[in-house]
A and B are shown apart, each in its own frame.
Chain A
Amino acid sequence: MYKYDEYDQQMVDVRVEEFRDQVRRRVSGELTEDQFKPLRLQNGLYLQLHAYMLRVAVPYGTLSGAQMHLLGDIADKYDRGYGHFTTRQNIQYNWIKLEETPDILAELAKVEMHAIQTSGNCIRNISSDQFAGAAADEIIDPRPYAELLRQWSSFHPEFLVLPRKFKICVIASETDRAAMRLHDIGIKMVRNDAGEIGAQFYAGGGMGRTPMIAPLIREFVPLDQLITFSEACLRVYNRYGRRDNKYKARIKILVHELGRDEYVRQVEEEFAHLLTQPIEPPLAELERIKAHFVDPAFETGLSDDLDLSDPDFRLWVERNTTAHKVPGYVIATISLKPVGGIPGDASADQIRLMAKLGTEYSFDELRVTHAQNIVLPHVKKADLYTVWQALDEAGLATANLDTVGDIIACPGLDYCSLANARSIPVAQKISERFGSAQKQAEIGELKLKISGCINACGHHHAGHIGILGVDKKGLENYQLLFGGSEGADTSLAKIIGPGFTEDGVVDAIEKATEVYLANKQGEERFLDTYRRIGMDPFKEAIYG
């Protein structure tokens, strides 16, 4: 994975001192809150329902054991002993003090971490495939391109005061594991007919209040034009994105209102102009970054055999491991969704344990997924049982990847000042209702996502089953949606009917799974059956 050189290190160190000075000017009264708020947001510091919340960046979801270990220590030293992994592959701490934040950022900088641009109207953390560099189906590791874009977007002087936030995702496989088309810019690395690698660009996707799937805007951008083309896309957005209405300010609205063809025309015009400017890094820079992402020293000639006589281990292997590109290795997903637990939360001890396992058994590398789980990307099958036992002892071995128990939930009204309803208790109740491993195995793949308000941080539009919490006359109420998908077959979920109470929505979901099981054909997932038979059988069962 990428390691800072002296330039990268200097940039994060300077940023810490800049923020320390900004805090000083805020506390002294030189800066009002209105002036300070955009500055602290661009250092990841929110004001939430109970306290300041700090969002630390995990660039494209990749981190080392040492970095993960420090995240655990920060939870103990500066917070209340736990952290929350988010739907954008970052980590959040909920009980932070403003006066301690510069020191936290200084500690993070020592392990090459930061909270730069994790909030604010700027380019945010660039996300990627959590199986990058390990999956058998990628054409190339997408992360070097994400790193190139990360550096380009950090403190970019023209794009720090955009109309709104800007989220970029980079993948490099046909299977989309990162919801690429639901981003402001989505990039898929592809090979052209001549066998050259280049970037396919999509723009104008997003969730939030008006979910949209990003249309294709460029089939192929050569590697030596990646930055210039990205700059053209951003400049058109900076100039013409709406600034009159916060809820209409994302690029998806601009692309929708201009129409895809007109947006493309404007980008191509700007691109042609920018090609005359010397703003593109040389390919040598991309090569330099790629050198950090070469394969670790995988052993050869390893056995692919696994002793699956322990039934709990077998279940976990079946559910939570994925084929690795190298024989004898496996990708292991650590579930942060124990039955009845808080999705995405991990205690400081659990975080440090995962760090240790990453260092000892995964070439010192871990990933954060946008489904709020952690991945050990390169585990030798020979070590897998030992890893599982350690996870099991720490409550981290729930065998529920992509099942109804693997719920994505935003923090909701328990933590977030934007929320209308609590999302975590709903997740807990659903998790308990479907707690049996047998039940989960029977239902199979079911991606359930919960948002506590229409800002959709829980990505409910992209859930096979989505739940949206609303405020109905001062009481919490829950709308149910079916049929969303974040994969290559991206679709947006549709609301099924009137909303439910917290218990009501859990019952409704159980009825929905019964309809699915009664109608399932062959190997259909819930999503497939729903797409085939439509909404009506589900509505009849649920509303009677």
Chain B
Amino acid sequence: MVDVQFRFRDDEAVNDPAVTVDAFSEQSNATAVRIEPGEDARALLPYLDRIALVEVNFPAWTDGRGYSAARILREAGYAGELRGVGDLVIDMLHHMRRCGFDAFAPDKALNTTDAKNAFERWDNVYQATAIDGRQAIWAKRHPA
């Protein structure tokens, strides 16, 4: 069980063991699920209101499929904890947050000062992910 090093939620952390996507549909009382890079996040869409925790695994940080998985879940209205686990690196923390991750459990603890700098690096962003609540630069240029 990896420790959550950074968390941006006010509610209690879910500590139930996360089951696999395959097992999840068969276990009606499971509330935590883990997605691997090759799995389709949309397989979870029928069950979103049951899920309190989704872990998205990054076996290697160079496999970027988890970013799409996270956004897809948030776009579908998932409001529970979305936790990145595995090979997480400082330099992607900001981008992970933009994709909807609100908890981070790296395999190896990250330097907290570097992490804080990374999360807070970008005052402005060029594009809207729609799910991180941030206004894109184009929206600031053209206030509605």
Contacts and interface: CB of A to CB of B under 8 A. Distances in A.
A189 B103 CA distance: 42
A225 interface: no
A238 B67 contact: yes
A22 B142 contact: no
Contact of B129 (A39, A158, A238, A282): A158
Taking residues whose C-beta sits less than 8 angstroms from the other chain, chain A's interface range is 35 or more
A5 to B, nearest CB: 7
Given A155-B122, A160-B92, A285-B142, A278 B128 contact: yes
Contact of A285 (B64, B68, B141): B141
Contact of A7 (B64, B130, B140): B140
Contacts of A281: 136, 138-139, 142
Given A161-B92, A235-B68, A278-B130, A155 B125 contact: yes
Interface in A193-238: 227, 235, 238
Nearest to B130: A277
B112 interface: no
Nearest to A163: B64
Contacts of B49: none
Nearest to A36: B91
Nearest to B98: A157
Contacts of A14: 121-123
A7 B141 CA distance: 9
Contacts of B92: 160-161
Interface string A291-327: 0000000000000000000000000000000000000
Interface in A36-66: 38-39
Contact of A157 (B65, B96, B140): B96
B63 interface: yes
Interface string A142-160: 0000000001101111111
A110 interface: no
Contacts of A22: 91
A274 to B, nearest CB: 8
Contact of A158 (B91, B99, B137, B141): B99
B111 interface: yes
A288 B142 CA distance: 10
B123 to A, nearest CB: 7
A233 to B, nearest CB: 13
A473 to B, nearest CB: 35
B22 interface: no
A474 to B, nearest CB: 33
Contacts of B94: 157
Contacts of A284: 141-142
Contacts of A7: 124, 137, 140-141
A158 B128 contact: no
Contacts of B136: 281
A438 interface: no
Interface in B40-91: 61-65, 67-68, 71, 75, 89-91
B58 to A, nearest CB: 9
Interface in B101-121: 111, 114, 117, 121
B7 interface: no
B126 A285 contact: no
Given A21-B117, A157-B98, A288-B141, A243 B63 contact: yes
B43 to A, nearest CB: 13
Contacts of B95: 155, 157-158, 160
Nearest to A227: B127
Contacts of A161: 61-64, 67, 92
Contacts of B142: 281-282, 284-285, 288
A394 interface: no
A156 B99 CA distance: 10
A162 interface: yes
A241 B65 CA distance: 10
B29 to A, nearest CB: 30
A529 interface: no
Contacts of B130: 277-279
Contacts of B127: 151-152, 156-157, 227, 279
Contacts of A151: 126-127, 137-138
Contact of B91 (A11, A39, A154, A162): A39
A18 interface: yes
A279 B134 CA distance: 11
B25 to A, nearest CB: 20
Interface in B11-41: 37
B65 to A, nearest CB: 6
Nearest to B40: A239
Contacts of B75: 273, 276-277
Interface in A234-292: 235, 238-239, 243, 273, 276-279, 281-282, 284-285, 288
A279 B122 contact: no
Contacts of B63: 161, 243
A258 to B, nearest CB: 15
Interface in A103-160: 121, 151-152, 154-160
B14 to A, nearest CB: 24
A7 B122 CA distance: 11
Contacts of A35: 89
6 contacts: A11-B126, A18-B91, A151-B137, A156-B126, A161-B62, A161-B64
Shortest 6 CB-CB distances between A and B: which pairs?
Answer: A161-B64, A157-B95, A157-B98, A281-B138, A285-B138, A277-B130
